[in-house]
Amino acid sequence: MLAHRKGTVTLICPVLVSGGLDLAPVLTPAAPVQKTDAHGAGAVANLLKTSKAATWAESWHRRLPYTRRGEMSVLRKRGWVVCRREQAVGIWYLKTVSEGEEGGWEKVLEMELAGKGNLVCIAVGEPGDSQPAWLAVSDGGEVKLWQLLGEKEDIRPKRVKSFIPTVVEQLADSEGTLGASALAFTPSASHLLVATTPSCQPGSTILFLDVADLSVVARLTPPKSANAESWISEIVVSSDGHYCASLDVTGRINICDSTHLPPHLPSAACHRPR
């Protein structure tokens, strides 16, 4: 229940919260029909501000994005700021003082992404100045990869359409799908780390992918909790690229030494800090 206080009178506006597989909660005002006078006294305020009406039949719902760290990423060498929204990715270019009297910023790209649900994770990779940047996103059911060609205000995204077919072909136990709950690039952007969702095969596994040829370099399987389904919610790579840390929804943190991963490692257990 959410309360709206006006003077000494408190009017209660019930709010129904529901959710689905896309992890985006939906809020809907659910106040009963109210009897109001000619001046509107007795009306219940819609605290969601989606409409004036607060009743279930007349009000509008509000969908909240699945919020977590990684909503915004910065490509410092290129001056790009990448922002993830529910089903879209926007990129802004930060102008230097030499390019304008006061610098400033400009939105240079808007990518509307069609999928089964809202985006749950995003990762950007920034290699050397002469090489294209990388953008990877997932809605939990599919991972999409782009090269970001160009520089400054000129950005030309190029979809890597062979990404999923090439990767799943290398996974003997795959069922043809590849969804991610977390994504991360190494500092050099030479490798993409994909934390698969529990519904995938293999599930709750971190895949090390070489972006040059999309080969699966290694598979890391963090220890799973005996009482809960392991859902990896975060991946972080150290600034030198030597270590990889993962966090699951049960609060378990696992750290792996990524410098000693043999090619095509079937499975490697990570160490949990004590």
Over residues 16-29, the pLDDT tens digits come to 888 776 667 888 88
Task: Average the pLDDT over each of 37-46, 108-117, 183-192 and give the range with the smallest value.
Answer: 37-46
Between 9 and 87, the more confident residue is 87
pLDDT at 227 over 60: no
72-268: which CATH topology?
Methylamine Dehydrogenase; Chain H (2.130.10)
Confidence of residue 8 (pLDDT cuts 50, 70, 90): very low
pLDDT for 23 equals 66
Read off the pLDDT of each residue in 98-111 and give the average, rounded to a whole number.
Answer: 75
3-state secondary structure of 168: helix
pLDDT for 145 equals 97
Give which of 169, 167, 91, 170 is closest to 124, Cα–Cα. Answer: 91
Confidence of residue 46 (pLDDT cuts 50, 70, 90): confident
Quick one: what percent of the chain has pLDDT higher than 70? Answer: 78
Between 42 and 65, the more confident residue is 65
pLDDT at 40 over 80: no
Place of tokens 């290398």: 170
> CA 251, CA 271: separation in Å to the nearest integer?
14
pLDDT for 132 equals 93
CA atoms within 13 A on the CB side of 117: 22
Task: Average the pLDDT over each of 8-17, 111-120, 262-271 and give the range with the smallest value.
Answer: 262-271
Task: Average the pLDDT over each of 1-5, 122-126, 152-156, 214-218 and give the range with the smallest value.
Answer: 1-5
Confidence of residue 151 (pLDDT cuts 50, 70, 90): confident
Place of tokens 């390019």: 99
pLDDT for 4 equals 43
Read off the pLDDT of each residue in 198-210 and give the average, rounded to a whole number.
Answer: 89
224-229 contacts, C-beta under 8 A, 24 or more apart: 224/248, 225/250, 225/252, 229/198, 229/204
pLDDT at 116 over 90: no
pLDDT for 36 equals 56
Sorted by where each begins, the domain ranges of the chain are: 1-64, 72-268
C-beta separation of 59 from 51 below 8 A: yes
Quick one: what percent of the chain has pLDDT higher than 90? Answer: 32
Cβ neighbours of residue 116 under 8 Å, at least 6 residues apart? 21, 22, 139, 140, 141, 142
Read off the pLDDT of each residue in 193-217 and give the average, rounded to a whole number.
Answer: 91
Confidence of residue 207 (pLDDT cuts 50, 70, 90): very high
Range among 102-116, 209-223, 253-267 rated most confident:
209-223
Place of tokens 């990684």: 70
Read off the pLDDT of each residue in 141-157 and give the average, rounded to a whole number.
Answer: 93
pLDDT at 152 over 60: yes
